[in-house]
Amino acid sequence: MEQQVATFTVKKGLAQMLKGGVIMDVVTPEHARIAEDAGAVAVMALERVPADIRAYGGVARMSDPELILKIMDAVTIPVMAKCRIGHFVEAQILEAIGVDYIDESEVLTPADEQHHINKHLFKVPFVCGARNLGEALRRIGEGAAMIRTKGEAGTGDVVEAVRHARAVLGEIRRLQNMPEEEVMAFAKEIGAPYELVMETRSLGRLPVVNFAAGGIATPADAALMMQLGMDGVFVGSGIFKSGNPAKRAAAIVKAVTHYNDPYILAEVSRNLGEPMVGRQISSIPEAELIAGRGW
Amino acid sequence: MVGKLLRIGVLALQGDFAEHIAMLRQLGVEAVEVRLAEQLASLDGLIMPGGESTTFGKLATDFGLIEPLREFGRQKPIWGTCAGAIFLSKDAHRPQPLLGLMDITVERNAFGRQVASFEVDLDVPALKAVSDEDLPFHAIFIRAPLIESVGEGVEVLARLEDGRIVAAQQGRLLATSFHPELTGDPRFHQYFLRLVDNPT
């Protein structure tokens, strides 16, 4: 009766428990408590939300462990934190302080322009962003136990999250409909491990939980991503950059649970105050876009 | 399970309700998602899945589900896994909405943070009621709660090797700290369906 820890089953299992829920970016312990009280299933502990990272410029790094620890003390729900793409020492530090999930995130400035972290080496599970099926399966191949769309963080514009969700789900539908002899060429075309492509084909979905992220700002945005087939949503700047964070947070939580009920969606969307201002993605110069980070 | 088709609800406010539904359908019973009080009507039993118990509490309060769920549990079987077990309990050592149906006290995140989540084989003698094979049950614990103490009339179904309680039953109510829905092993679901089909 030996206990086994850090198996892939328990890593992806935590993400399964988060399904149908909202994971919120928070920058203080007070924010974290507001998020928990609003019904968040987890929080992402950060020094700056993506909208401020964009505005601030410079190199965006892992947050101060002191801040993350204070947020871990403030709530009973799981706490996630971000490290830079490829920065496995930031990941080691986050594992050492005991965060529940690491987001190897394009929102921070990448530390390696060719390689992501070998996530199999860690006991803590990882979530990674993806724009399409190939990218998602490469991350899972490296050990990611949860996937999210990249979207375009810090914009409040949902268009990229929709594009990435449709890409992943559309490619899975295509994969399921092709004869088996075409699968190897498909795996080559999308640059994904063949075994994971075969597993995805037989499951009809990614082998791990798949959340929406990047630009979700309203209850309707969140429900849109759920109706498209995502398992849950991350909301970054959309809550604490809005006029009434507590109310908006609670409304987005309700919208994710009742994503198929337009009457409840109408009710929870009323009187939420100002949404985050937002930036239309088509107005942002190519060089400032972050979804292209990661390979 | 001969005769009428059982209709089992799975609380679908948040969490891994889809895994429970898949297991129930595999066992040939009708499984439906429950998000609103009126969806409790005509159910023979209810499963409350894994997820975040604070989220369940918040949504159940805001959508007026607390009293209807209590009323349901006074008459029909309910099984809570992990967060569902916390929600079923009468005490979780912190102020959060609970159904208080089952006379158990739970400790949330009793094993620590996610890196301490684990899998282990458990002895569950009660499962002999649904299977001739006396095999251990492979249990998956994810930021799991412990059942710290049980009241009178609550039967302990499983313990860890060190004696700590991880599964219990009080008449028609069932609580497990772990997630049978994440394994391929249907015995706990069969055990619950037996409770539904043969009310005590």
With a cut of 50, list the residues of chain A below it in pLDDT. none
Give A270's contacts (C-beta < 8 A, 6+ positions apart): none
Nearest to B14 among A20, A76, A101 (CB): A20
Please write the tens of the pLDDT for every residue from B63-105: 999 999 999 999 999 999 999 999 999 999 999 999 999 999 9
Mean pLDDT of the region B166-182: 98
Statement: residue B2 has pLDDT above 60: no
Nearest to A21 among B14, B63, B115 (CB): B14
- DSSP alpha helix (H) spans, chain B: 17-26, 53-62, 66-75, 83-88, 187-197
Please write the tens of the pLDDT for every residue from B32-75: 999 999 999 999 999 999 999 999 999 999 999 999 999 999 99
The chain B residue lying nearest A123, using CA atoms, is B115
Is-above-0.95 flag for pTM? yes
97-126 in chain B: CB under 8 A from chain A: 108-109, 112-122
Mean pLDDT of the region B172-186: 97
Please write the tens of the pLDDT for every residue from A118-150: 999 999 999 999 999 999 999 999 999 999 999
Statement: residue B1 has pLDDT above 50: no
pLDDT of residue A278: 87
SS (H, E, C) A77-98: CCEEEEEECCCHHHHHHHHHHC
Q: Is A5 helix (H, G, I), strand (E, B) or coil?
A: strand
Interface check for B28 against chain A (CB to CB < 8 A): the answer is no
Told to judge if A188 belongs to the known catalytic residues of this protein, a careful annotator would answer no
Interface check for B82 against chain A (CB to CB < 8 A): the answer is yes
Interface check for B39 against chain A (CB to CB < 8 A): the answer is no
CATH superfamily of the domain spanning B7-197:
Class I glutamine amidotransferase (GATase) domain (3.40.50.880)
**Tokens found for residue A271:** 């009187």
Contact B50 A6 (CB under 8 A): no
Statement: residue B200 has pLDDT above 80: no
Using alpha carbons only, what angle is made at residue B146 by residues B140 and B148, rounded to the nearest 5 degrees?
155
